[in-house]
Amino acid sequence: RKEVEQDPGPFNVPEGATVAFNCTYSNSASQSFFWYRQDCRKEPKLLMSVYSSGNEDGRFTAQLNRASQYISLLIRDSKLSDSATYLCVVNIGGGNKLVFGAGTILRVKS
Q: In whole angstroms, what is the distance from residue 58 CA to residue 19 CA?
A: 14
* Burial class of residue 3, CB neighbours in 10 A (0-12, 13-18, 19+): middle
CB nearer to another protein: pick between 10 and 16: 10
16, 10 Cβ separation under 8 angstroms: no
Q: In the complex with another protein, which residue's Cβ is closer, 49 or 69?
A: 49
* Cβ(60)–Cβ(74) below 8 Å: yes
Side chain identity at residue 73, one-letter code? L
Nearer to another protein, 46 or 80 (CB): 46
State the residues that interact with another protein by CB under 8 A. 31-32, 34, 38, 41-46, 49, 87, 91, 93, 95-103
User: Min. distance of Cβ 49 from another protein in angstroms?
Assistant: 6
